[in-house]
Amino acid sequence: MALSCDALVFDAYGTLFDVHAVMRRCESYWPGKGGSLSQLWRTKQLEYTWQRSLMRCYAPFSKVTRDALEYACEALGLPLADSEAASLMAEYLNLAAYPDVADALPRLRAARRSLPVGAPAPEELVELRVPVPDRAGVLAEVTTLAGRLGVNISDLEIAHSVDAVGGVLVMVVAAVSNVVYTYFVSRLGPDAIGAVSLVFPVSLLAITAMGGGIGAGATSAVARALGAGRPSEAAALAGQALLLSLAIGVGFGLAVQVGSPALFHLMGASGAIHANATHFARILFGGAAITFLGAMFDSVMRGEGNVRVPAIWSTTSLVLQMGATPLFMFGLGLGLEGAALAMLACQLLATLPRAVWVLGGRGTVRPVFRPRRTGFRPVREVLRVGVPAALSTSISNVGLMALTAVVARLGAPQPGVERDW
């Protein structure tokens, strides 16, 4: 059956135009270093693009390219003057095409294909924000309408307004929940609040690395598969991402069981605080698989464009924790153990409806846990974006752990002794 096609669209850089054509200009400035600079410049340009996409921190292509150039020159020890930077940036507006492009484009045009013949300069681009409903298939509708109107889309980013409002709500509830949690734990005495303060940065590190890192990788992979019209690949990605979250959760929980005493000792804890922190962490992170699995369900749903359900159940979990914490701690007489168990119990309750939604086929993607002929490729696709994102989001939390260790090593104030801060 013959297929009709209204237009063929190519990625300009690296497909039609040779990005390494700048090598000659690089070589003229730094003889013997042109090839290395061109390779590192392009690598960093792609990495900065991925990171900004994951963080939803948009910047014009020219800024991303300039930042990558400055990094590459500094990494290779090459002095970069403003005039040299401007000259190299200008090269991107006059890149040489690959040899086969000159022959291929006229042949495709002769076949009545509508093709772009160049890349627009940054000053020719117009940023337009269009409100769209939050439902599956809306991206295809937007791009189809743009084609009918003759609008050439150079770059496209979807910012979910529902996610923004829901995200603010979740953050507000989380802040209130943390205050309530801290209040009830503080009623157990300074040793208990000191122990929880030691565990908090470790918990934050784990959650952000999983949700903002590996989870972001899963969201990106599922969204790209759906956008490319490969629902079976999206199902395989979702299934292996969920299994990966369970495996990481179990592995992390086991690591905490073994390594938490040494970790908290390194962070400056001793005596009752060290014992309480170790015990609290072993209970809380013993259920890390629950926490990570719930977060991965959210990531899969976000990948298919559903941001409402994750916001609802994240908020529900936090609200439940505010009521369950005093019940477990004081009503059941479990003390500090009850604080950890209350958190896990509420997370489990909020994970169940997420599982029903995703595994029950109510969303666009229904995970497949034993995909055919794919092996571990879906896991590699998730980790390809997830690992760099996890490392990026973990930096500030590692700093928080270090700060906690510094404060802990200051020790308790001695009677009659004033500290000069």
- What residues are labeled active site? 11
Q: 3-class DSSP state for residue 348?
A: helix
Q: 3-class DSSP state for residue 13?
A: strand
Q: Which residues make beta-bridge pairs with 114?
A: 7
Other CB atoms within a 10 A radius of the CB of residue 125 amount to 13
Pull the structure tokens for residue 215. Answer: 């989870």
Q: Fill in the DSSP letter of residue 122.
A: G
Give the chain's end-to-end CA distance (angstroms, integer): 80
Residue length, the chain? 421
Among 206, 138, 163, smallest CA distance to 310 is for 163
CA atoms within 13 A on the CB side of 229: 1
Cα(230)–Cα(378) distance, rounded to whole angstroms? 13
* Radius of gyration, CA atoms only, the chain: 26
